[in-house]
Each structure stands twice: as structure tokens, then as C-alpha cells.
């Protein structure tokens, strides 16, 4: 998992540097766009410490039901494609979309409740 | 806050949560269950057998190139889809935790068994059902749509490489998909709420899941015509020390899986596996349990798991099962031995780490690519 985190961070750095639609960076771009739903472009942004946000995120993910949690992590931590997640858990792609959509709604509500949005 | 902040926060999720996401989700294990010839009631998870029958009086069935024993990658293919552990493994506190297994306690009173030709197996890296029975798929979907009052406008055909692999119909409340393995998936778009005293969460107890199964058998009895028997299987633990069970029902023509739900108080998915009409290759003699045990202890087995300690004391149980997967050209029975994985490779905890080790029940003179040692091939 340590290596997974390093790999993810490197990919993210690469994305930030290039912002190019290259292999790997493309999936992260999609992931970021999906996550932007939870923030809301017009929301008033608050200055928060990243560590607090990290803790809040951990808390949020822990309380997700097992299946939703697993799908959420595969998508937003590992930046796996919908097809890969569907294959991994033997779900139809539509199911993955539905689960991710539910999770994002919950995350948005959670972030609002916790005062991040 | 920027979306990048959110992404970064997700990047700091606890390792334990990340590791848990590597695990295969229990309720989605039920697949390729072969009903008519399954002697054991255990829910099928995966099989890794590469055996090919060679009947004495018939031409040798050609080994699929992708299963070539000389191909070094074939051993990696064995663990494909084996779940988070990378192999077929279960964590239990005692062997009694396994439910739904028909333990073999004495020799079977049969001398020959039918062996069938699999219609779906890995061919050149692609899992394909050639010549699917489209009429039967349509008949099943029509029948289910009628029973569920699904007033659909269009029968949607799903294709892959110009071969139809599934049909789907839907209305605003329900969608039904039937694939070429005659597996029907009923998706309740509006989740059905269970009564207060019925629960189906992934970590509910055996008794709760059994009650859920009984409830579903009664509630959905309009979906089948013949009597079904309740089957509760599973019993292994995940890393959160949660034990999981699956509820299902079956007879000799069909098997139904009542999937659990995240919240534990709704049902949104049900799968029905109908009897496949496999082509019979022939009847073959079987070896007895004693001979199978000898072969196991000599290392003559197939498995995706780390090697076990090859002693009789390490055999916790045996079942007799037909298995089918995309790795098998033939559907044949195995003696399945439940053994503890070698202690050097298992995690240090209080669990018993069990895997299943398969010894073909057909004598090896009928099998053209018999493995030689610890699941390895020539």
C-alpha cells in the first residue's frame, strides 16, 4: 500500500505538471472532474488545513457500506477505470456508476455538514 | 477548496481500507454454478483445473493453446479473478464456520459419472460462448418479464465481437438481463424494502441470512414453478472480523441467489441460474476417496493457493464437486480438499487460513495434461 500511495502521488504530480491528456493522466482528469461535483463551483471556498480534510475523508470512507467503500476507493484512490472496477467486483458498469454517484452525493452532503463547503 | 485538495485527501486514506478494497466482494462470488450435477451444495467460487478428458474410445480432445501446459504464463492465469488474496483462500475460526458444504464422510456409492463439454472457456485470451441458444435466452427473459410484470418496449441485445452474449429488458422499476450461460439478473431499480424483522447485510449472522432466504423464497415464489430448497453458504471472515453468508435456493433445475445489500434492509438484486444443457462427452469411472487422498499427499493436485503441508492431519474436510469456469474445456468432478495454507505464508492472526486443493475424480489415464507436482505442469 505504501508503494500504491507513492505511485498515486507520482501520477498526480505528473498530472499537475503536464495537465496533458496522456495515458494515466487522462483517468485522473476524469476522476477530478467527478469529484468537483462534491465541491460545487459556486460554493464559497473556505481555508482549511489539509490534514483536517484528510482526517475527515478517512472518517467518511470508513462509514461507507463495504461495497460502496470498495468501489469508491478503487475509483478515487487508485483511479481505476469503470471497466476495471466492474471486472474486479463482477459488477455491471451501470452498477458501478450508480454506486459512485451515490458516494459522491454522500460525500458532498458530508462535506457540507462538516463545514468544508 | 479545490478538487485537487479532495483528491489529495483521498490519497491519505488508511492502508487498511485500501487493502480491504483488494478483497473480492463476497456477494458477487456466485457464478458458474452447475446445478444438475453438483453433488455438493457449496457455492462455487473459482476453479483452476486445467484437466482435459481423453476418452479411450474417442478422439483426443485438443488442448486449447491458451491452456498449453508448456506455456509458462498459464500458472498466472490460474489466479485470475481469485480475489484479494491472489488465490482462493478463506479465513475462518474453525472448519465448522463453512456453511453450505456437503462434507464427504464416506465413499460415494457411484462408480461412473457423466462428464460434459464446457461451452464457455478461455479461447485465445477471450471468454466466449460460441453459438448461444438465443431462443432459450429470449424465452427466459419473456417468462421473467411476464412474472414480474415488466412492460418493456424493446428487447436489447448485448454483443461482443458480433456474438450476442445477453438480452436485456427494462421498465421504470425493474431491469432483467439474461446471458448466454442462462444466468438471469433481476435488478430492482427501486430497492424493495424488507420487513423490519428481516435483514440481509453483508455481515449479518447465519440465522439472519437464513431468515432472509426463507423470506425471499416465499416472497418471490411466483418466479418459479417448482419447489426449491434453501441454501445458506459462506462463513469466512473479512479483515474487519466480519463473517459473511449468502442466501440462495435451488433444485435440480435452477439456483437462485438472493443478494445482500449495503444497508441490510433492502433487496435490489437477484440472480437466477437456469440449468444449462451441456453436451455430454461420456460416462467415466471415478477414483475413490482413499486414492484421491493419496494423490493429494503426493502433491498431485491443482490449486491457486500456496502449498499446504501435505499431511493427513492438515486435511480439514473434503467435498465432491463439479466445477466449471472459463479455464475448463470439460466439466468434471473433483475431490476438493480443505487444507490449511502453509504457516510460513499465512498472516499472523487467530484465523485458520484455508484453501481448496483439487484432485480430479477421473483417473489420470483419461486426462491428457495431468499435472505433476503441487499444481505445476510439465
For each of chain B's 378 residues, which pLDDT tens digit applies? 777 788 888 888 887 777 777 665 543 332 333 333 333 332 232 222 233 333 333 222 233 333 333 322 222 222 222 333 446 778 888 888 887 788 888 788 888 888 887 776 555 555 567 778 899 999 999 999 999 999 998 999 988 767 788 899 999 999 999 988 888 999 998 889 999 999 988 778 999 999 999 999 999 999 999 899 898 888 877 766 778 888 989 887 888 989 877 788 999 889 998 887 777 888 888 899 999 999 999 888 887 677 788 899 999 999 988 876 666 677 788 899 999 886 554 556 677 888 888 888 888 778 766 554 444 332
Nearest CA in chain B to A34: B3
Comparing B44 with A17, the larger pLDDT belongs to A17
* Partner-chain residue, chosen from A50, A66, A95, that has the shortest CB–CB distance to B8: A50
- Residues in B closer than 8 angstroms to A48, CB to CB, are 1, 5
Q: How many CB pairs under 8 A join A and B?
A: 105
DSSP string, B56-118: TTSPPPPPPGGG-TT-TTHHHHTTTT--TTSSSEEEESSGGG-BS-----S--S-SEEEEEE-
Q: CA B236 to CA B233: how far, in whole Å?
A: 10
**8 Å CB contact of B11 and A61:** no
B279: β partners:
B117
pLDDT at A25 over 80: no
DSSP state for residue B236 in the 8-state scheme? E
Q: How close, in Å, is residue B97 to chain A by CA atoms? A: 21
Q: Residues 127..166 of B with a Cβ closer than 8 Å to A: which?
A: none
* Partner-chain residue, chosen from A31, A46, A74, that has the shortest CB–CB distance to B21: A74
Range of the domain at B120: 21-125+278-366
B339: β partners:
B315, B355
Task: Report the residue of A27, A66, A104 to disrupt the B interface, i.e. the one with the largest count of B CBs within 10 Å.
Answer: A66
pLDDT of residue B371: 53
Contacts of B106 (CB under 8 A, 6+ apart): B289
pLDDT of residue B33: 31
Is residue B26 one of the residues assigned to a domain? yes
Asked if B17 reaches chain A (Cβ–Cβ under 8 Å), the answer is yes
Asked if A114 reaches chain B (Cβ–Cβ under 8 Å), the answer is no
* Partner-chain residue, chosen from B4, B17, B31, that has the shortest CB–CB distance to A73: B17
Asked if A14 reaches chain B (Cβ–Cβ under 8 Å), the answer is no
Range of the domain at A107: 2-113
Q: How close, in Å, is residue B139 to chain A by CA atoms? A: 23
> SS3 helix, strand, coil % of chain B, rounded to 5?
20, 35, 50
CA atoms within 13 A on the CB side of B266: 11
* Partner-chain residue, chosen from B1, B2, B25, that has the shortest CB–CB distance to A67: B25
**8 Å CB contact of A70 and B263:** no
DSSP string, B275-314: PP-PEEEEEEE---HHHHHHHHHTT--B-SSPPBP-SGGG
Q: How close, in Å, is residue A21 to chain B by CA atoms? A: 17
Q: How close, in Å, is residue A23 to chain B by CA atoms? A: 18
pLDDT at A10 over 80: no
Is residue B301 one of the residues assigned to a domain? yes
pLDDT of residue B24: 55
* Partner-chain residue, chosen from A31, A48, A73, that has the shortest CB–CB distance to B7: A31
CATH at residue A78: 1.10.10.10
* Partner-chain residue, chosen from B1, B25, B263, that has the shortest CB–CB distance to A89: B25
pLDDT of residue B325: 64
C-alpha pair distances (Å), B322 with each of B44, B65, B98, B360, B368: 9, 23, 18, 10, 19
CB B354 within 8 Å of CB B340: yes
Asked if A3 reaches chain B (Cβ–Cβ under 8 Å), the answer is no
Number of domains into which chain B is organized: 1
Burial class (CB in 10 A: 0-12, 13-18, 19+), B64: middle
pLDDT of residue B180: 85
- Residues in A closer than 8 angstroms to B23, CB to CB, are 70
CA atoms within 13 A on the CB side of B139: 6
φ and ψ of B353, to 5 deg: -95, 105
Comparing B48 with A6, the larger pLDDT belongs to A6
**8 Å CB contact of B23 and A70:** yes
Spell B114-131 as b/e; 16+ CB within 10 A means b: bbbebbbbbeeeeebbee
Structural Rg of chain A based on CA atoms: 15
* Partner-chain residue, chosen from B2, B13, B263, that has the shortest CB–CB distance to A77: B13
Task: Report the residue of A2, A70, A83, A95 to disrupt the B interface, i.e. the one with the largest count of B CBs within 10 Å.
Answer: A70
Q: CA B27 to CA B194: how far, in whole Å?
A: 18
Q: CA A93 to CA A98: how far, in whole Å?
A: 9
- Which cell numbers in the block locate residue B305? 493457493
Task: Report the residue of B1, B80, B181 to disrupt the A interface, i.e. the one with the largest count of A CBs within 10 Å.
Answer: B1
Is residue B336 one of the residues assigned to a domain? yes
Is residue B61 one of the residues assigned to a domain? yes
- Which cell numbers in the block locate residue A70? 470498495
Spell B246-279 as b/e; 16+ CB within 10 A means b: bbbbbeeebbbbbbbbbebbebbbbbbbbebebe
pLDDT of residue A79: 84
CB B50 within 8 Å of CB B372: no
Is residue B136 one of the residues assigned to a domain? no
CB B140 within 8 Å of CB B178: yes
CA-based nearest residue to B21, from B238, B203, B200: B238
Q: CA B71 to CA B85: how far, in whole Å?
A: 24
Phi-psi label, residue A19: left if phi above 0, alpha if psi -120 to 50, beta otherwise: left
- Residues in B closer than 8 angstroms to A28, CB to CB, are 7
A52-106 pLDDT, tens digit per residue, is: 888 888 888 887 877 788 889 888 888 888 888 887 777 777 778 878 888 888 8
Asked if A77 reaches chain B (Cβ–Cβ under 8 Å), the answer is yes
Asked if A29 reaches chain B (Cβ–Cβ under 8 Å), the answer is no
CA atoms within 13 A on the CB side of A88: 23
Is residue B233 one of the residues assigned to a domain? no
Number of domains into which chain A is organized: 1
Amino acid at each position: 500500500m505504501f508503494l500504491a500511495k507513492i505511485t498515486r502521488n507520482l501520477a498526480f504530480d505528473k498530472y499537475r505538471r503536464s495537465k496533458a491528456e496522456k495515458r494515466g493522466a487522462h483517468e485522473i482528469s476524469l476522476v477530478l472532474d467527478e469529484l468537483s461535483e462534491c465541491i460545487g463551483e459556486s460554493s464559497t471556498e473556505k481555508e482549511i488545513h489539509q490534514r483536517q480534510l484528510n482526517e475527515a475523508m478517512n472518517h467518511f470512507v470508513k462509514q461507507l457500506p463495504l461495497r460502496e467503500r470498495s468501489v469508491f476507493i478503487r475509483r478515487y484512490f487508485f483511479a481505476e477505470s469503470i471497466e476495471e472496477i466492474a471486472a474486479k467486483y463482477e459488477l455491471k458498469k451501470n452498477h458501478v456508476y450508480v454506486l459512485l454517484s451515490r458516494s459522491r452525493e454522500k460525500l458532498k452532503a458530508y462535506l457540507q455538514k462538516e463545514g468544508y463547503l | 477548496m479545490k478538487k485537487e485538495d479532495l483528491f489529495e485527501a483521498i490519497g491519505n486514506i488508511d492502508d487498511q481500507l485500501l487493502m480491504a478494497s483488494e478483497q473480492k466482494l463476497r456477494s458477487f462470488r456466485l457464478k458458474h454454478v452447475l446445478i444438475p450435477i453438483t453433488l455438493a451444495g457449496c457455492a462455487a467460487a473459482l476453479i483452476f483445473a486445467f484437466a482435459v478428458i481423453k476418452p479411450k474410445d474417442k478422439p483426443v480432445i485438443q488442448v486449447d493453446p491458451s491452456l498449453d501446459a508448456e506455456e509458462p504464463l498459464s500458472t498466472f492465469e490460474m489466479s485470475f479473478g481469485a480475489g484479494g488474496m491472489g488465490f482462493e483462500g478463506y479465513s475462518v475460526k474453525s472448519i465448522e464456520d463453512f456453511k453450505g458444504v456437503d462434507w464427504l464422510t464416506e465413499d460415494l456409492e457411484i462408480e461412473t459419472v457423466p462428464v460434459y463439454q464446457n461451452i464457455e472457456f478461455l479461447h485465445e485470451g477471450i471468454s466466449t460462448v460460441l453459438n448461444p441458444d438465443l431462443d432459450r435466452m429470449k424465452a427466459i427473459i419473456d417468462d421473467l418479464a411476464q412474472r414480474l410484470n415488466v412492460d418493456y418496449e424493446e428487447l436489447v441485445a448485448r454483443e461482443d465481437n458480433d456474438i450476442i452474449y445477453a438480452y436485456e429488458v427494462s421498465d421504470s422499476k425493474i431491469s432483467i438481463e439474461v446471458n448466454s450461460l442462462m444466468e438471469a439478473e433481476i435488478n430492482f431499480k427501486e430497492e424493495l424494502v424488507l420487513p423490519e424483522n428481516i435483514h440481509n447485510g453483508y455481515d449479518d449472522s447465519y440465522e439472519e441470512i437464513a431468515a432472509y432466504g426463507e423470506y425471499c423464497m416465499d416472497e418471490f415464489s411466483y418466479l418459479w414453478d417448482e419447489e426449491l430448497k434453501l441454501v445458506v453458504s459462506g462463513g469466512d471472515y473479512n479483515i474487519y472480523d466480519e463473517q459473511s453468508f449468502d442466501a440462495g435456493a435451488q433444485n435440480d433445475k435452477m439456483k437462485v441467489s438472493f443478494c445482500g445489500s449495503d444497508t441490510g434492509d433492502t433487496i435490489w438484486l437477484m440472480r437466477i441460474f437456469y440449468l444449462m444443457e451441456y453436451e455430454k462427452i461420456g460416462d467415466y469411472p471415478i477414483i475413490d476417496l482413499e486414492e484421491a487422498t493419496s494423490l493429494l499427499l503426493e502433491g498431485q493436485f491443482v490449486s491457486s493457493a500456496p502449498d499446504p503441508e501435505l499431511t493427513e492431519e492438515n486435511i480439514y474436510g473434503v467435498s465432491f464437486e463439479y466445477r466449471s469456469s472459463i479455464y475448463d474445456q470439460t466439466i468434471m468432478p473433483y475431490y476438493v480438499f480443505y487444507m490449511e495454507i502453509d504457516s510460513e505464508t499465512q498472516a499472523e492472526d487467530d484465523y485458520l487460513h484455508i484453501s481448496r486443493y483439487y484432485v480430479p475424480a477421473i483417473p489420470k489415464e483419461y486426462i491428457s495434461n495431468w499435472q505433476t507436482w503441487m499444481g505445476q505442469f510439465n
